[in-house]
Structure 1
Amino acid sequence: MMRVLVVSAEAGHHPALAEMIGRFGHQVTVAHSGEQALQQAATALPDIVLLDVELPGMDGYETAPRLKSQADGIHLPIIFMTHLNDEQTLLRCLSVGGDDFLATPIEPIMLQAKLRSHFRLRELSRTLVEKNRSLAWHSARVQREHDIVEHILQNALSRNFLDYEHLQTYLSPATSFNGDLCLSASGPLGNLYVFMGDFTGHGLAPATGALPLSQAFFTMVERGVSVAEMAAEFNHRLAQLLPDDMFCAAFIAELSASGERLTYWNGGMPDALVLDQQQRLSKRLPASHMALGILADDDFDSRVTNLRLSAGMSLVLYTDGLIELHNSQQQSLSEQGLIDLLAAQPSLDIDRVVSAIEAFRGDTPQRDDVSLAILRCCATGIKEREPEYEHQGLPFQLQVDLTAAELRELDPVADVVQSLGQFRGIRDHRTTLYLLLAEAYNNALEHGILGLDSSLKEQHEGFERYYQLRQQRLATLEQAEISFQIRYLPQQACLHMNIRNSGSSWSPSVSARQQLATREYGRGLELMERLCDELALSDNGRCLSLVYSLNS
């Protein structure tokens, strides 16, 4: 049943019309003037209006648009009733909001057909308005939830050290929320940590992964943990939290306070670029690990790479969204295109670089999140924090003995450093201790146990061949042993560390060590000598002894 408002000044007309409409099964309300029609419409809420053109006072032309304005956004069909059939009258009826005409005298069949037709339009309009209101409510609710998440993310990232003077960043999300993440924080030893991550997809879902990861990052930086420990902890958390179809490609780096050493872990990210002072490519830092959140703890590889840096070098990090940007000719920027673009700049100014990137992209839509970070590798200038605790008062000794089976499956250094980090006065030194013990362990394993020669790395594709041999020999290893013996002497506030292996002798001469230090490989002993107070090789190179002062 529809509600019909009849507006007619002819006393003999509207009773018959009302009776006719009533026989169709509809509810009828009658008004005799335009003013009365507006009042009746406000209370009766008609579905259709039958309106005379000629009315006392406010005529049909003036009444029609005012009736429409009272309809609360829902289409209100107005059918003009007129005995006039000239073209100007009909056009004017349409121009003021009329939807149809009925010529008087009115034919019942014609009236019923028009009422049904216009009522269907009215119902369609009502449905559309209700759905639009529902969508508007849901949209407002989603926006409110987005605002809450954005507020939480901003608070979570409030400790982000992206305003560090030697770090420039550019992050451009494809949607409201960024699936890329760039974090930076200063460590307790004047060192700088940088994290760049790229979660699967873009938008709100991957952005929520930034919450647990950023909290873990800032907490671990505060404690001065190693890059390897960070990678393992991030992987553990994300593997527990993320669904199976989500992961986070990540690059984690630690720049020493002097700016001369970079320790990094690359899991699934594009090659990081090390540039010289002229913005020319000096070295690529490729991914050698799976992304975070995929592997179980036992399968995850947290081993890091150490790189010695020269004066004036810069580290460039970016997500795949950058090199996959397309221009109007559907050409992607590509890694080589980025290298050429950086080399063409007069300086590594982020604004200049971004302008060049935008010039390449033109008006082509951005399909993925885009992130870029440029870190100038120099002395950080970050003040070293005072130790939070006094040194451990009691002496202790830690002994770890690894057999061939454990050497094949485990990376023990992170566990050893984690154990040491439980003691007062040592936890702030975990990054340096990890570097020392990782280099010592790798020397013992690769040169002592596996008999690998670092000079292999000097050949074409030598690094790849070297690590292939490492994996092959490690897989077939049957009898071998590496032991860690670490003693803490509270009076001297130092650690005495012996790393012994059961392999063949290996003891490079001083001249050989100096020669190795000038190459892209073989810098492990030199690095250890710079980090510790004393270093000595004995038993034909099978035993490496280190002394590390906790006051340094």
Structure 2
Amino acid sequence: MASILIVDPSKSNRLYLRLTLEKQGYQVFEAGDGLEALESYEHHRPNLVITEIKLPVLSGADLVQRIKLLAKETFAPVFVVTNAFKPDSIQRILSVGADDFLQKPYPEELLLAKIASLLRNVNFYDDLKQSKEMVSSLHMSLALEHKSAERIFEKFVHGPRQEVPGLEAHVSPASIFNGDVFLSTITPAGNVITLLGDFTGHGLPAAIGAIPVAEVFYSMVKKGRTLKEIIFVINDKLKTILPAHIFFSCVAVKVFPKRRSVSLFNAGMQPVVMLNEASGEYALFESSSVPLGVLDSFELDVDFTKVDVTGSEHFICYTDGIVEAMDDGKEMFGVPRLVESLQTSHYDIGRLVDAAQDFCHGCVFNDDVSIIKLSLADILMQPNQMIASAVLERIPPPSDWSLNYVFSAANLRCNPHPIESIVDAIIGMQPITPYKEDIFIILSELYNNALEHGILQLDSCIKQQSNGFLAFAEAKQKALETLSEGRLMVDIQHEALSDSKGRLRILVSHDGPGRAQDVTTQTSSEIFSGRGITIVRFLCSDFQFDDGGARVEAVYEWERRDGGR
């Protein structure tokens, strides 16, 4: 039962209250003056104090103040039961903290009702305090867990990001965890890759997928995998782990400084903007694929847009948070305003963000806002330095070796994409990871040229039709399914030229009825389909077709640029 301290200079008044309260089951303590009451309160800590206003030694108002100070965060109700009739006295003791008062004489029922009410408030306050402490403890625990998760997120997603010349970024999350993903690095071959993506929603649920995306991206780039391979693996992983309502829109841009070209892939993102500083013109590259994590990889159309560049171009990639910023009339900022702002601000993405905020009158963006700008002048002027900065592993001295592959019709049907395995075998024999991308491109073009035109006898003119690439892919799949004869051979020889130089000789031949056509003999209407062979010629020191196109040989030379470290 609750305990009550009675403070009254009148012994008879104290006796009356004691008998009344003990009859109700309360534990009662007594004090005849303010100082004795204070000492009793400190010793017994009663649930309720009933006091007179006029007290010897320490006044009732002073007693109330001292009790409230001792109680600190605990609710210690003080009930004033008094003979005083002066409003000033009552007003003062209430102003310093007394919780209720009752003038004598009073009905006993009213006294007991007020006491019961104040004690209920004590219980309520105690319950509230306990709940507050539980919530505070839970909040501290969650904050600690959140901080730990934030550190892990930062380490996985942002930690491996490399500084890339000519790359600027603005990242403004709508919450601590960011549903936007921004990754950038320099490949072992010295090419620049940036990936900007946007998971459905924002905050922690949207950020969950960022860790596997970053892990796949950086680990595969380090191994020299192609961007297409990386996209397929990211798609497979997200398709496996993400719930159906979360997917990953993204845009990937790859800059080839030596070739002075850019490849980009847009999967469900806002159009990529290319601004030409020299001409003042711009181009938009719309999405060409569904977001990642929606379809299985064999259904995914990973079609890269290739752009030849001069160095005066700026590529702008951004998430929809900025273009969907609205003014008071619910009108969006939009892509046209974004382009206009970039042109008038000399491609300053900071001023672009300011323009969007001015448009919506200083609003806080409702969604994550990420913008990246790739200025090609800074990238194209130092391709060799980027290769040197990208080579982080020791390349051993070259040696002599060879690899030979023979693919029968059955092999070609069951394994239509063996190039990855062949390139891995080459890197296993001679760890020249910085040149892996070049080797992959050379082998892919020669192998596909022999298969598609030599064995399957497909016509490249199909690609020039509407939806030509899709029609060509369907024709290739159909021809493979019915293929019953034919062989394709890949012979690879590596020769050491010095302690730091090597020569890779790649010979691809076939015994099919068709003949691969040398791109140098193609008409202007056919050049589009032979663009891959043109790139191979650029990469190789020697390249030639023999035996009417049934045999093609490419020679690729490499050199260590890390000084053998």
Does 1:273 pair with 2:281? no
- Residue aligning to 1:374: 373
Q: Amino acid of the residue matched to residue 523 of structure 1?
A: R
Cα distance, 1:211 vs structure 2: 3.4
- What is the CA–CA distance in structure 1 between the aligned matches of 2:249 and 2:489, rounded to whole Å? 33
Matches within 5 A, 1:282-361: 282-284=283-285, 286-292=287-293, 294-296=294-296, 304-345=304-345, 347-361=346-360
Which residue identity lines up with residue 473 of structure 1 in the other structure? A
Aligned to 1:395: 402
Instruction: Provide the residue aligned with 2:70 in structure 1.
Output: 70
- The residue aligned with 1:536 is 544
**357-366 or 8-17, which deviates more:** 357-366
Change (3 A) 1:422 1:527: same
More off after superposition, 502-511 vs 413-422: 502-511
Q: 2:517 aligns with which of 491, 507, 524?
A: 507
In structure 2, the residue matched to 1:485 is 490
User: Which residue does the alignment assign to 1:27?
Assistant: 27
Out of 477, 487, 506, which is 1:496 matched to?
506
Asked if the contact 1:270–1:287 (Cα under 8 Å) also holds between the matched residues in 2, the reply is no
- 2:25 and 2:58 mapped to 1: Cα distance? 30
1:525 matches 2:524? no
Change in CA separation of 1:435 and 1:271 when aligned onto 2, cut-off 3 Å: farther
Among 467, 472, 483, the residue aligned to 2:469: 467
Question: Given that residues 193 and 252 in structure 2 are in contact (C-alpha distance below 8 angstroms), is that contact kept between their aligned partners in structure 1?
Answer: yes
Rounded Cα–Cα distance in structure 2 between residues aligned with 1:202 and 1:184:
21
Counterpart of 1:12 in 2: which secondary structure? helix
**8 Å CA contact 1:193, 1:252 repeated in 2:** yes
Query: 2:274 and 2:170 mapped to 1: Cα distance?
Result: 18
- CA shift, 1:237, in A, is 4.2
- How many Å separate the matches in 1 of 2:542 and 2:364? 58
- In 2, are the aligned partners of 1:260 and 1:308 still within 8 Å (CA)? yes
Give, in whole Å, the separation in 2 of the partners of 1:212 and 1:509.
41
Secondary structure of 1:130's counterpart equals helix
Task: Check the 8 A contact 2:164/2:192 in 1, yes or no.
Answer: no
* Residue 329 (structure 1) shift: 2.3
After superposition, the C-alpha distances for 1:226-258 in whole angstroms (9 at most, x for unaligned) are 212322333344455545544433333332233
Residue type of the alignment partner of 1:432: D
Structure 2 gaps of 5+ residues are 497-501, 561-565
Residues 133 and 365 from structure 1, CA distance in 2 versus in 1: closer, same or farther, beyond 3 angstroms? same
Aligned to 2:219: 219
Q: Deviation of residue 81 (structure 1)?
A: 1.2
Instruction: Give me the whole-angstrom Cα distance separating, in 1, the residues matched to 2:511 and 2:246.
Output: 41
Residues of 2 paired with 1:401 and 1:313: CA distance? 46
SS of equivalent residue, structure 1 residue 372? strand
SS at match of 1:432: helix
Deviations 1:508-546 (A, max 9, x none): 7647567877x8x86333222212223334566566543
2:269, 2:208 → 1: CA distance? Answer: 20
Whether the 8 Å CA contact 2:419–2:444 is kept in 1: the answer is yes
| Structure 1 equivalent of residue 387 of structure 2 | 384
Q: Deviations over 1:301-335 (max 9, x none)?
A: 66655432233112212223232222332222233
Q: Quick one: structure 1 residues 287 and 117, their matched pair in 2 at CA, closer, same or farther if it must change by over 3 Å?
A: farther
Counterpart in the other structure of 2:429: 423
CA distance in 2, matches of 1:297, 1:197: 18
Find the residue that maps to 1:269 and give its secondary structure. Answer: coil
Q: CA shift at 1:504, angstroms?
A: 5.6
How far apart are the structure 1 equivalents of 2:34 and 2:435? 88
Change (3 A) 1:430 1:55: same
CA distance 1:482–1:88, shift in 2 (3 Å): farther
Query: Is the alpha carbon distance of 1:475 and 1:524 closer, same or farther for their aligned partners in structure 2, counting shifts above 3 Å?
Result: closer
d(CA) in 1 for partners of 2:3, 2:407? 89
Cα offset, 1:184, TM superposition: 1.6
Tell me, in whole angstroms, the C-alpha distance in 2 between the residues paired with 1:227 and 1:149: 29
What's the CA shift string for 1:341-377, capped at 9, x where partnerless?
32332x1223222222222233333222111100112
Structure 1 match to 2:2: 2
SS in 2 for 1:384: helix
Change in Cα spacing, 1:37 to 1:283, as seen in structure 2 (3 Å) is same
- Identity %, equivalent residues: 23
Q: Is residue 81–residue 101 contact of structure 2 (8 Å, CA) maintained in 1?
A: yes
C-alpha separation in 2, matches of 1:241 and 1:362: 40
Q: Please list, as runs of the form range in 1=range in 2, the aligned pairs for 1:160-309 lying within 5 A after superposition.
A: 160-161=161-162, 163-243=163-243, 245-258=245-258, 260-277=260-277, 280-284=281-285, 286-292=287-293, 294-296=294-296, 304-309=304-309
Cα 1:419/1:136, change in 2 over 3 Å = same
Partner SS for 2:274: strand
SS class of match (2:429): coil
Cα separation, partners in 2 of 1:5 and 1:406, compared to 1, 3 Å: farther
Return the letter of the residue paired with 1:234. Answer: I
What CA distance in whole angstroms lies between the structure 1 residues aligned with 2:66 and 2:82? 19
What is the alpha-carbon distance in structure 1 between the residues aligned to residue 509 and residue 119 of structure 2? 90
Q: Distance in 2 between matches of 1:271 and 1:484?
A: 42
* Partner Cα separation in structure 1 for residue 37 and residue 127 of structure 2: 25
Contact 2:400 2:494 in 1 (8 A): no
Secondary structure of the corresponding residue to residue 523 of structure 1: helix
Q: d(CA) in 1 for partners of 2:231 and 2:194?
A: 12
Q: In the superposition, relative to structure 1, how do residues 357 and 551 fare at CA in structure 2: closer, same or farther (>3 Å)?
A: same
Distance 1:66 1:534 in 2: 97
Offset, 1:129: 1.6
Structure 2 partner of 1:364: 363
Structure 1's 419 and 229: CA in aligned 2 closer, same or farther, altered over 3 A? farther
CA pair 499-479 structure 1, distance change in 2 beyond 3 A: farther
TM-score by length of 2: 0.84
Q: Which residue of 2 aligns with 1:89?
A: 89
Give yes or no for contact 2:34–2:63 (8 Å, CA) kept in 1: yes
Aligned to 1:99: 99
Kept in 1: contact 2:463–2:471 (CA 8 A): no
> Is the CA contact (8 Å cut-off) linking 2:463 and 2:472 kept in structure 1?
no
Change (3 A) 1:150 1:188: same
How does 1:137-148 map onto structure 2 within 5 Å?
137-148=137-148
Q: What is the distance in 2 between the residues matched to 1:450 and 1:376?
A: 40
The structural deviation recorded for 1:405 is: 8.3
Letter in 2 for 1:130: Q
Whether the aligned pair in 1 keeps the contact of 2:188 and 2:433 (CA below 8 Å) is no
1:503 & 1:469 partners in 2: Cα distance? 22
Separation in 1, partners of 2:341, 2:206: 29
- Bigger drift between 474-483 and 80-89 goes to 474-483
SS at match of 1:68: helix
Distance 1:305 1:32 in 2: 94
Aligned to 1:159: 160
Are 1:227 and 1:263, in contact at CA under 8 Å, matched by a contact in 2?
Answer: no
Distance in 2 (CA, whole Å) between partners of 1:279 and 1:44 is 85
Aligned partners of 1:338 and 1:499: how far apart in 2?
A: 51
The farther-off stretch of 136-145 and 254-263 is 254-263
Distance 1:526 1:15, change over 3 A: same
- Tell me the CA shift for residue 401 of structure 1: 5.1
2:169 maps to a residue whose letter is: T
Structure 1, gaps ≥5 residues long: none
